[in-house]
Structure 1
Amino acid sequence: MASSRFTAQHVTRRTLLGATGLAGAAAALAACGGGNDGGGASNGGGSGTMMRLALNQTETHPSYIALDNFGTALEESTGGAWGIDVFPNETLGAQQETLQMASNGSVEMSIVSGTQLENLNPDFLTLNMPGAFDNIDKQMQILQDPAIVGELFASLEESQNITVIGGFTQGERSAYSTVGPIMTPADLNGQKMRVQESDLHLAMAAALGATGTPLAYGEVYTGLNSGVIDAAENNEISYFTQAHYEVAPYYSFTRHLVGTDYLIINTETLNSMSEEDRAAFDEGWATAVQEHTGLWAEQTEQAVADAEADGAAFNEVDADAFQEALAALPEEFLTEESQTALWDAIRGAQG
């Protein structure tokens, strides 16, 4: 089996590795100064505020590279007043845990999937809906339009002490299986498919022909290898970097969803920035989004080539059959006026 060919040159000097679970998270936080006067961000020996950012991806993933560069740029642009220390590989815990940690301030920032946010505000499921975005370019346009998403991104500030800064693409998510190629929803009949913990994603799996099985991201490889699940759905990069292709070698381009990962920050931390530092933060984030999107395109192409070289098989599907199977989901799930208004704005912006 060939090893990953993605470059490791961006691996940060600041990464802490080896800690796992909540016990590991506590050790990692203590190691970087998390014990300062109530567990907030490390003051770096008085030289500035180093915010901890929890991430569930590897050091070669576009999210890590873009966020690590974001942190370096923020230190430079604020004269060392603010920085970001990125913790990859679920070092600080799974997304559900780090979401709570960002809320209470024990970790300042985290990348979380849309399903985590829809559990706090159901309006987020509008952006998580199959068919919401035509493609990645349209997705990025909408996620950076405050007229469409501004109110939604601020909706958790009062109740959860969390501000949503924006989103990275998860790419076009497709299905992959241990059983064989998937051409139509009928090919998934009887297969247990890993989905994120969400009523929408459970319904999506059923519409795709499978039985939805919620499972933590870090448990997917073992689940596929042991037969706990027969299939999963994700983008090509995660498929390769998490080595899922080793145990589920059939990747079918269902392209049923353009997913989003959101950057969240503790609202009190964000509000403590000066006007100048907040402007630098926002500028740095905009640059990170642009870098991430470019890296995503490059690494998606490379991931497919590398997985194929290691024995995975990719195939196109009957796209019309999958679109038809999923067509009823918006009407079923978008039942509130706020959701339908947001849906109309998202679809209207794509012309």
Structure 2
Amino acid sequence: MKKIFSLMLVGILISGFLILKGRNTDRKVLKYAYGSNSEVVKKSMAEFGRLLEEKTNGKLVVEYYPDGQLGTEREFIEMVQTGVINFTKVSGSALESFSSIYSIFGLPYLFDSEEHFYRVMDNKDIMDKFYNSTEHLGFVGLTYYDSGQRSFYTKGRPITKPEDLKGMKIRVMQSETAIKMISLMGGSPVPMSNSETYTSLQQGILDGAESNEFAITTARHGEVVQYYSYDEHTRVPDIVVMSKSTLDMLTEEEKKAVYEAAIESTIYQKDKWKDAVAEAQKQMIEEFGVKINTIPDKSRFRELTSSMHDEFKQNEKTKDVYTEIRELGDKK
């Protein structure tokens, strides 16, 4: 039923866009679809639309289709490719099947700290390599949003060392890098969409998953798991992407406004992110009763996945950007 509804909406979007093009008007309504997100990210995407309308004196207006109304992250990307929608915001891991360079964000312990992550993500020379890598496929990156660290949350027992993952079925994003990481750590990776995770945990199909704190609160996975274990294996950014055909239709002034609004919405999100995470941590404990455990020594997790770093160092497509990212690290 949901699929039929999504297809109907897509049909409406296509016809609505064609009617708009045929009108003698300067006002353009741009479609922005996305999946389930924390409130702070939703507000940041809304801020992008507000800023864009303000910067173009109402000539560019953003219309939102939230909470997976139109499908999954992969489907959003494909709709942006074809121009059915104009914007989406997806995990960087969802982009790796379109451009292999994005797979580097799924590399465990790529970033030494949150500060290292920001130094990389705010570096235009580095990030343009990512954003422009999909131009030939019909879409480009505009900016990023912080999606925090990713750690394990589980039923039955916490994760304190890699050996605890043995025999556990762990949901991962549909990402080859994430699948390999869990396998090397000793778990059994199960790639699936986020929308299926709650039910799979509830029914015992999964023993756990890995994500940020908002999976426990916003997605309410805290209702079906008992432990959140801070191994902080990855920091995968969210990426805002735009249809290249849409971008090409805009005036130079409008293009400038799009990029400015995107970057300013990132600044807005970063300013509110830490407080949102702190509130989610409090909610995890007080509302959901999830037990949080820290893992002071993550060396075993790093050791087991070190071969993945070697692969990225040697790969012709990723070795240069891997070196650039690591050179901005805390441990130079």
Normalising by structure 1, what TM-score?
A: 0.87
Matched residue, 1:343: 322
Aligned 8 A contact 1:49 1:83 in 2? yes
Whose relative contact order is higher, 1 or 2, with alpha carbons under 8 Å and at least 6 apart?
Answer: 2
Aligned 8 A contact 1:224 1:247 in 2? yes
Matched residue, 1:3: none
Does 1:27 pair with 2:8? yes
CA–CA distance in structure 1, aligned partners of residues 21 and 10 of structure 2: 9
Matched residue, 2:163: 186
CA–CA distance in structure 1, aligned partners of residues 26 and 269 of structure 2: 29
Write out the 4+ residue segments of structure 1 that deviate beyond 3 Å after TM superposition. 26-31, 36-39, 41-47, 332-335
The code of the aligned residue for 1:70 comes to F
CA–CA distance in structure 1, aligned partners of residues 98 and 17 of structure 2: 29
Structure 1 stretches of 5 or more lacking a match?
1-18
The code of the aligned residue for 1:28 comes to L
Q: Cα gap change, 1:45/1:102 in structure 2, threshold over 3 Å: closer, same or farther? A: same
Name the % identity: 24
Matched residue, 1:327: 306
SS at match of 2:318: helix
Does 1:293 pair with 2:270? yes
Q: CA deviation at 1:266?
A: 0.4
Q: CA deviation at 1:192?
A: 0.2
Does 1:96 pair with 2:85? no
Farther-moved stretch of structure 1 (132-141 vs 66-75):
132-141
Farther-moved stretch of structure 1 (184-193 vs 109-118):
109-118
Q: CA deviation at 1:45?
A: 9.5
Q: CA deviation at 1:190?
A: 0.4
Q: CA deviation at 1:297?
A: 0.9
SS at match of 1:342: helix
The code of the aligned residue for 1:69 comes to E
1:229-248 equivalent positions in 2, closer than 5 A: 229-248=206-225
Structure 2 stretches of 5 or more lacking a match?
none
RMSD of the TM alignment (CA)?
2.2
Which of 115, 124, 137 lines up with 1:146 in the alignment? 124
Matched residue, 1:137: 115
Aligned 8 A contact 2:105 2:235 in 1? no
Q: CA deviation at 1:339?
A: 0.5
Aligned 8 A contact 1:68 1:85 in 2? no
CA–CA distance in structure 1, aligned partners of residues 250 and 145 of structure 2: 23
Which of 200, 208, 216 lines up with 2:177 in the alignment? 200
The code of the aligned residue for 1:211 comes to S
Aligned 8 A contact 1:139 1:169 in 2? no
Aligned 8 A contact 1:53 1:108 in 2? yes
How many aligned residue pairs are there? 328
